[in-house]
Amino acid sequence: MKDKFYQYIQTLQDTITSKLEEIDGKAKFQEDIWKRPEGGGGRTRVIENGSVFEKGGVNISGVHGPLPKAMQSYFKVDDVDFFACGLSLVLHPENPMVPTVHANWRYFEMYDKSGEIVDSWFGGGQDLTPYYLFEEDAAHFHKVCKTSCDHHHPDFYSTYKKKCDEYFYNAHRGEARGIGGLFFDYCRKTDDMSMQDWYDFVTEVGDSFLEAYVPIVERRKELPYNQNHRDWQEVRRGRYVEFNLVHDKGTLFGLKTNGRIESILMSLPPRVQWKYDHHPKPESPEEKLVKVLKKPVEWQ
């Protein structure tokens, strides 16, 4: 399973980065192959200063070895070996009318001393962070999420949509990071779902990513915008940074377990502003967004 899934994310990285380069038309992904001293490594691909994408990364990694101490206490296990691989992507478009997107699909195995798998699970999801809300875009993104889910279980969409709203939440601001999508974790073998069933589910979600995001980019990338729109985008990107550095478990894990810093922090936006006590004007498009972030919407 681990080889099959790692093969899958390698191919998916190629598919996604080719399509994004085609859409951007100007910038190319820069590739960095890195090795982890304790075992494994990754292939980081970053795009910067494109005509559509101001900054973005589509990274894969596959790491293994003794489970780091910080993760032992998190998972409440002893000194075991592990394997983890996944694809993580974040895209920060230049045009404030185009939403930021994040996605991650991952697979984890733990072994006993004889090398037998004692636990394994899939996790992942994808979520959208608009700066200006086009309801049509949010509905489209969630529709693609729902279609992938519905092929596997009637409850998956509603369950994982809710988990996404709960997870990507800036508690200190009382608002969601964006308009959500899917978030699932610890997807283990059950009576209903074999690991192959989970693989089929996760890869269908992964395969649907471009269908979920690209039409939105195509619709919005040529829309006009001014400095006020851009300022608002940069202020909202500040909230993105706050979430990733204060709340996101993946980021904090990476920072505390000696991950490759530049691959982890590629998720941070290129240009960000913090203004003191900034509030959008009543009845403005900016306020409309914030209202939705304060109270999750059922988009499907």
> What does the alpha-carbon distance between residue 165 and residue 172 come to, in Å, rounded to a whole number?
15
Angle at 88 between CA 294 and CA 138, to 5 degrees: 35
Residue from 18, 30, 158, 284 touching its own copies (CB under 8 A): that is 30
Tokens encoding 17: 């980065």
Comparing CB distances to its own copies, the nearer of 118 and 261 is 261
Comparing CB distances to its own copies, the nearer of 46 and 138 is 46
| β-bridge mates for residue 105, sequence order | 87, 124
By CB under 8 A, tell whether 266 contacts its own copies: yes
> What does the alpha-carbon distance between residue 87 and residue 5 come to, in Å, rounded to a whole number?
10
Q: Is 142 a catalytic residue?
A: no
> What does the alpha-carbon distance between residue 207 and residue 152 come to, in Å, rounded to a whole number?
14
Nearest one of 140, 88, 84 to 109, comparing CA atoms: 84
In angstroms, how far is CA 215 from the centroid of its own chain? 18
By CB under 8 A, tell whether 268 contacts its own copies: yes
Nearest one of 114, 132, 182 to 152, comparing CA atoms: 182
By CB under 8 A, tell whether 275 contacts its own copies: yes
140-to-61, 186, 281 alpha-carbon distances in Å? 29, 27, 28
Residue from 1, 70, 214, 255 touching its own copies (CB under 8 A): that is 255
x-or-dash string of contact with its own copies, 149-188, rule CB under 8 A: ----------------------xxx---------------
Residue 116 beta carbon to its own copies: minimum distance, rounded to whole angstroms: 34
Site for its own copies in 55-94 (CB under 8 A): 55, 57
Comparing CB distances to its own copies, the nearer of 113 and 271 is 271
- Contact positions toward its own copies, by CB under 8 A? 30, 32, 46, 48, 55, 57, 171-173, 234, 238, 241-242, 245-246, 252, 255-256, 261-262, 265-266, 268-277
